[in-house]
Structure 1
């Protein structure tokens, strides 16, 4: 029997891969990319973790090489790749505005869906000033986040040996923290306000490692998640349907095209395998 060809997506958005850091799920991303077919792929920041690689020993092996090879294969197959650098790969911003042989590098982009919605695509660190999470606070938050992820990693090694399923300590702590939830709310509102000021229909971003796809005040808020905790991506189907997908292909949330009744969902985050 012939293998079933994966569906052609009109666009795919993914961010916060953090290649080079010890917490990146590169193997899962490589598998996801090798089964992907899309006309345009947006890399919405923090794809390579230059912060980690500058301060600590880089974690780079076969899985990371497979990610790079899969991106090259997509480009050869005709996928247009747009790279929007984030705060962890900030030095790449010096190439913004250039069309490199393998991709375009942009500070931000406006993606027009099949049903005519105009969505701002940005990483999201530009809203740190509004959410009061920048400079020294940002560095401390980054340090604390990596400490929690390290604890999460060791915890799940023990759980795996006991035959228990993966459980995200970091997501549990965020969900129980009122301060974290207020920060996420401020971030979401800042993104939507920026899209509204620009006369757009919504925003696609990353940065805060909290996947979501929903409608608010007539605008689309889409956060494609990350490849450290949620292992998720945002896809646009040929008819303009927006879907938040887990790396396994499970649909976590959906917004139908504008001419159809909207069915927004705000699901629980997927769990890494």
Structure 2
């Protein structure tokens, strides 16, 4: 029998439960096939913005919430750092929701002693200088990208192909989008540097990454709308950025001694 994959620490963000493009099926498969000591939820777990527009809560969204609380009840430390889409939960910072701790931000010390600042990332929006009109255009364009992404993967499944993010593929080829991502990354590591820390872990921009930026560690655990990614810390201190869809793929890793991220991509075990 195949054993569950074990991590010391896992980071998830931008799940967007309640939003029609949330890939709760992949996330639920992940939660049922891993174990960890600490699980950080780095914002936008429930998409209250989407629920306010249209109520959408299928059974697998409920099952994700149930799986998270089950892990917390069974001994996994679960820390919830609300984001902008679940901002009302910030009113409960410092409290405990059942077995789940709620924090505005936190600092994680890795196995090899690195101290990493954790926040969702919307606190950096002021550094991304976009007008209200540009934001409206961006929202409409993003919705259209997700529409294309949905249909592209519908046809890929029909032909027996694995999940692939068309939305991310297009975004990475738009110069303005790449510039916004770069500005965000620089602002994130600058904040970590200002506090005398070794790096930062965040979400918000739906762009998974694990790399050195200006001498500090920048980690973005991605999302469960476009990329279906997570960040994990192994017991030897290695950080892994993993995509979890029909097959599990190690996208990047960083050695515990601070070595460079690996560029190769190779499959992990298939989930049961």
1:168 corresponding residue in structure 2: 165
1:10 Cα shift?
Answer: 1.3
Candidates 32, 35, 40, aligned match of 1:34: 32
2:232 corresponding residue in structure 1: 235
Equivalences, count: 264
1:54 corresponding residue in structure 2: 52
1:88 corresponding residue in structure 2: 85
Unmatched tracts of structure 2, length 5 or more? 268-272
Normalised to the residue count of structure 2, the TM-score between the two structures is 0.90
Residues 214 and 266, structure 1, Cα contact 8 Å, conserved in 2: no
1:23 corresponding residue in structure 2: 21
Within 5 Å, which residues of 2 pair with 1:233-272? Answer: 233-247=230-244, 248-258=247-257, 262-265=259-262
* C-alpha distance in 2 between matches for 1:167 and 1:5: 27
Unmatched tracts of structure 1, length 5 or more? none
Change (3 A) 1:49 1:135: farther
2:180 corresponding residue in structure 1: 183
* C-alpha distance in 1 between matches for 2:23 and 2:255: 30
Residues 231 and 239, structure 2, Cα contact 8 Å, conserved in 1: yes
Residues 207-242 of structure 1: per-residue CA shift (max 9 Å, x gap): 111111011232110000100111010001112111
Worse-matched range after superposition: 64-73 or 178-187: 64-73
CA RMSD of aligned residues (A): 2.0
Q: Provide the secondary structure at the position in 1 that maps to 2:3.
A: coil
* C-alpha distance in 2 between matches for 1:44 and 1:142: 22
Match status 1:150 vs 2:147: yes
Residues 186 and 213, structure 2, Cα contact 8 Å, conserved in 1: no
Change (3 A) 1:93 1:153: same
Worse-matched range after superposition: 132-141 or 214-223: 132-141
Q: Provide the secondary structure at the position in 1 that maps to 2:256.
A: coil
1:59 Cα shift?
Answer: 2.3
* C-alpha distance in 1 between matches for 2:136 and 2:101: 29
Candidates 44, 68, 72, aligned match of 1:71: 68
Q: Provide the secondary structure at the position in 2 that maps to 1:64.
A: helix
Residues 109 and 116, structure 2, Cα contact 8 Å, conserved in 1: yes
Normalised to the residue count of structure 1, the TM-score between the two structures is 0.90
